Structure 1
Amino acid sequence: MNPNDGFRELGRQECLDRLGDAPIGRVVHTRDALPAVLPVNFCLDADSAVVLRTSADSELARTIDGVVVAFEADAVDATAHSGWSVVVTGHALVVTDPAEHDRLARSGPRSWVPSPREVFIRIAPELVTGRELVGGRTQYGVERTF
């Protein structure tokens, strides 16, 4: 991106570092041939995969298992007119290995709405992009939008 437009591209590791600090993100998937966005809590696993925890009976678990999805998280400071946004695109898979499930049950994200049967969904980070708004106003005082 042009450094004069107020945005700065974030490198892959910087994107992952920012995701590690974000408490909430959004998973973007297809529902009935239309885009759907769902806010979720999450964590990053050791291999930089995004990990979600949800009910085994949820529409989300049924809808995204085995398909390509996008995951987005951001932070915005409305007062300073600054912020960042990171998008991870990759295949989502329900964790079926019992040992991995047990490990994630101890170290993975905690569900905000516990369910009797929960599953973990991993989103492999095949494409990781991000940008930061580094200057919220132009030299002429015109506000920028994300």
Structure 2
Amino acid sequence: MAHDDSPAAAAPHRRVELDSAEALRLLGSVSLGRIVFTRHALPTVRPVNHILDGGDIVIRTHETAALTSHAQGNSGPGVVVAYEADAIDPETHLGWSVVVTGYARLVTDPGELARYERMLRPWVEQSMDRAVRIRPDLVTGVLLTTDGRPDTA
């Protein structure tokens, strides 16, 4: 059996549960995450950039996106989605991960949409003429550490 001298093997790792406020703070410290929704009754995952606005997660999308049509056609509280963001070092395997479950709705107010267009620049070369707001219902987060203390920005 080979001996592992990598930094990840140097100390035992601990998993520390984060409270929702700390989890949202960490999510707001990065700009990229993954949205999970259903398409044709199957889970679908898309990488997207986001901002945190008043505790809500906002992403930009386009008219023909699958998520746009789901969020647009829902007259209730919105379509159920999950949103995940993380910052985990690939060598040490230390960092954090946050998962938010909530309801996504299309932003329809022209003033809000214009504001989000100014605040959130798409990271792909495609027209992003829509915005989706995710209202967190359940926020969970874990810190992957060796000592139980946050080592994050």
Please give the range of the TM-score, normalised by the shorter of the 2 chains: 0.7 to 0.9
Contact kept, 8 Å, 1:29 with 1:64, in 2: the verdict is: no
Partner of 1:83: 95
Quick one: distance in 2 between partners of 1:8 and 1:51? 27
Taking every aligned residue pair, what percent have the same amino acid on both sides? 48
Is residue 60 of structure 2 the alignment partner of residue 53 of structure 1? Answer: yes
Counterpart secondary structure, 1:51: strand
Counterpart secondary structure, 1:61: helix
Q: How does 1:88-107 map to 2 (within 5 A)?
A: 88-107=100-119
Partner of 1:129: 140
Runs of 5+ consecutive residues of structure 2 not aligned to the other structure: 1-11, 73-77, 148-153
Runs of 5+ consecutive residues of structure 1 not aligned to the other structure: 137-146
Contact kept, 8 Å, 2:13 with 2:145, in 1: the verdict is: no
Match of 1:32 among 36, 40, 46: 40
Quick one: distance in 2 between partners of 1:96 and 1:81? 40
Quick one: distance in 1 between partners of 2:126 and 2:13? 44
Structure-1-length-normalised TM-score: 0.81
CA RMSD in angstroms, aligned pairs only: 1.9
Is residue 31 of structure 2 the alignment partner of residue 20 of structure 1? Answer: no
Q: Deviations over 1:31-62 (max 9, x none)?
A: 111111111111111x1111000112222211
Deviation >6 Å, runs of 4+:
none
Structure-2-length-normalised TM-score: 0.78
Post-superposition offset of 1:70: 0.3
Counterpart secondary structure, 1:125: strand
Quick one: distance in 2 between partners of 1:29 and 1:59? 9
Q: Deviations over 1:55-103 (max 9, x none)?
A: 1222221134421100000111122221211011111000001121122
Quick one: distance in 2 between partners of 1:79 and 1:119? 37
Q: Deviations over 1:86-144 (max 9, x none)?
A: 0111110000011211221222x2112231x61110000111110011129xxxxxxxx
Is residue 126 of structure 2 the alignment partner of residue 119 of structure 1? Answer: no
